[in-house]
Amino acid sequence: MQLTPDDIIVFTLAGWKVNATIVNTWIVMALLVGISMLITRNLRPDVPPNRWRTALEVIVKLIQSQIEEVTRNSARHVMYFAGTLFLFIALSNLMLVVPGFSPPTSSLSTTAALALSVLVAVPVFGIASGGVGHYLKTFIEPSVIMLPFNIIGEFSRGISLAIRLYGNVMSGAVIAAILLTVAPFFFPVVMDMLGLLTGMIQAYIFAILATVYISSATAEPDHPALKKEDKS
């Protein structure tokens, strides 16, 4: 039984073994980009949007509103990052129902890569927002004693993100595979449906947590929104 698609080598390119995780990632990427290109190829402000464009606008505006609720501003670069996280994870998890398709998110390498991306994105966005000094200062807040704990917390956030996503997606696939051997007709369907639900929830949680981390790094100390969050 394969627990991760990393072990499935699809083809070898110049000595580099291209596994199913990467290939399936490309498929998901191709789907996302292809659909986006197809819908947004002829956008004109004076033409009423069709149903596909409307659906896409609803999704994008939903992502934007969720991010704005967390960050209290409409920084587009955060949306590009967190929105892509959500769409990639969500579509990957939805493709769990495709027979023979192993979601890239069921690979710990993928979730680790996404977690590392968040781990790197947080200081990058923080430094881009307030400068290096302001970002480093957050590690000694509220006092210098908290420096090691803040550093540990920074790394543990990435690790927890990666493990949470991997565990949920992979566990769903594993449970479905096990139940398939026990009751091949009923339980896998129920589990797959449950997997779709948990996959969407995981995508939402991952993206929201990434947004929260980034917003906490980019928010100014005396920001009213941040103070309000601290009080709550």
Partner 1 sequence: MSIDWITVIAQIANFLVLVWLLKRFLYRPILNGIDAREAEIKRRMAEAGEAEKKAQAAEAEFRQQQKQLFSDQDAVVKEALRESEVQRDSLLAEARTKLEREQQDWHKHLERERQKFTAQLQRAGEETLLELTRKALRDLADESLEEAIVRHVSARLRPIVGELSEAAGDSKEAVATTRDTLPEAAQALLLADVQSLLPGIDLRFESDSQQAPGLILRVGGAQIAWTVDSYTEEFDALLNERMAAGASGRIQPTGT
Binding site for partner 1 (CB under 8 A): 3-4, 6, 16, 19, 21-22, 25-26, 29, 32-33, 36-37, 40, 43, 45-46, 49, 53, 56-57, 60-61, 64, 76, 79-81, 83-85, 87-88, 104, 107-110, 112-114, 116-117
- The helix/strand/coil state of 10 is strand
Q: Are 203 and 86 in contact (CB under 8 A)?
A: yes
CB of 26 to partner 1, least distance (A): 7
CB of 19 to partner 1, least distance (A): 6
Per the DSSP assignment, residues forming a β-bridge with 13 are: 16
CB of 89 to partner 1, least distance (A): 10
Report d(CA 59, CA 65) in Å as an integer. Answer: 10
Longest dimension (CA), the chain: 59
Query: What phi and psi values does residue 59 have, to the nearest 5 degrees?
Result: -65, -50
Two structure tokens written together for 177: 């595979």
Angle at 118 between CA 27 and CA 176, to 5 degrees: 50
CB of 62 to partner 1, least distance (A): 12
User: 48: cis peptide before it, omega within 30°?
Assistant: no
Smaller CB separation from partner 1, 94 or 226:
94
Smaller CB separation from partner 1, 33 or 132:
33
Report d(CA 72, CA 215) in Å as an integer. Answer: 9
* CA terminus-to-terminus distance, the chain: 47
Count CB atoms within 10 A of the CB of residue 196.
Answer: 17
- The helix/strand/coil state of 17 is strand
Smaller CB separation from partner 1, 3 or 189:
3
Smaller CB separation from partner 1, 23 or 97:
23
CB of 194 to partner 1, least distance (A): 22
Smaller CB separation from partner 1, 22 or 191:
22
CB of 17 to partner 1, least distance (A): 8
Smaller CB separation from partner 1, 40 or 141:
40
